[in-house]
Amino acid sequence: MTKAQSPTEAGILAFLATCDAFYPADAVNATITEQRGYYDALCAQFSPPLPEGMSTEDRMVEARIPVRWYRPVAVSTDTVLLYLHGGGFVVGSLESHHAICGEIAAAVGAVLVAVDYRLAPEHVWPAAFDDSFAVLASLISEGRTVVVIGDSAGGNLAAGVVLKARDARLVGVTGQALVYPALGGDLISGSYAEMAEAPGLTTADVRYYRDVYAAPEGHPHAFPLAAADLSGLPPTFITVAYFDPLRDDGRAYAARLAMAGVEVWFREEPQMVHAWLRARFMSEGAAAGFAALCAAVARMARAG
């Protein structure tokens, strides 16, 4: 990338340098076990203690899907937050996003449930999707209203399960927040071309993760941009990073939601790269983006 195509904020550059020390640029060429080891080490580097007083409880849904419940000291809404982690459908766990989940729960003042969905390549489509939807359906069956949140691959899952909930007339989703989501863009135009060699995630990486996940091309729950109709979806917050091949997935989805009459807030972080959530204590831009995410989730949770 040229300098004009690279971030210049000091905090995000320091974040990228730390990431490079833990996660090789060619990690997708490593074994799955090695990739998960790299990712776990990287996540541990950016995992501060939970907010004071936060309690957690590990449970199972349908006796097979591990979930973790987060309860902050102050709970100001009955709406539950459902968090689906990123990691290309290949890496990530309850531990990888532990601090992020705790901080969102505390900032919003809401109980949050994180899902440890099955990973590829051991479990390809629709395993991760089915696990995520099963947890959402379980929460709604208990009479809860839910805001669904996901980052990257988790943003894909979040958008997909919200679409399925609408299609199944499952009432109870009061909002969705998609953080640099992978929504099924064409991999050849727009930001996929402009940011093909972006720091932190390349277009080749996106193709690799998509191939490993092995979802059927054009299935709207796996490729939400392929959905013919986006009407009737709940209020949506989408945030993307400018220096990210996935950027235009979020741009396009926000535009289509607005055209379909859905209430949508779109935010593009001008100096951010993929995975900037982890830079929230290193970068002013990431801190502002994280605060905006929490504010949007709080607004949707209280509206529910």
Predicted local confidence at residue 26, as pLDDT = 87
Number of domains in the chain: 1
The candidate with the shortest Cα–Cα distance to 302, out of 80, 14, 95, is: 80
Kindly report the pTM of this predicted structure.
0.97
Predicted local confidence at residue 6, as pLDDT = 85
Is 85 among the catalytic positions? no
Predicted local confidence at residue 176, as pLDDT = 98
The candidate with the shortest Cα–Cα distance to 278, out of 27, 120, 92, 147, is: 92
- Three-state DSSP class for 249? helix
List the structure tokens of 36: 């998960």
Predicted local confidence at residue 3, as pLDDT = 46
Identify whether 126 is preceded by a cis peptide bond (ω within 30 of 0): yes
Instruction: Specify the pairing of strand 173-179 against strand 146-151.
Output: parallel
Across the beta sheet with 112-115, what order do the strands follow? 55-61, 65-71, 112-115, 80-84, 146-151, 173-179, 236-243, 264-273
115-164 pLDDT tens trace: 999 999 999 999 999 999 999 999 999 999 999 999 999 999 999 999 99
User: Which of 96, 152, 191, 283 is an active site residue?
Assistant: 152
- Three-state DSSP class for 165? helix
Residues in the chain with pLDDT values less than 50: 2-3
Is 131 among the catalytic positions? no
User: Which of 131, 244, 248, 249 is an active site residue?
Assistant: 244
Distance CA 253, CA 274 (A): 17
Specify the CATH number for the domain of residue 252.
3.40.50.1820
Predicted local confidence at residue 143, as pLDDT = 96
CA distances from 176 to 27, 33, 103, 123, 233 (A): 30, 32, 18, 25, 9
Is 274 among the catalytic positions? yes
Range of the domain at 99: 3-303
Predicted local confidence at residue 273, as pLDDT = 98
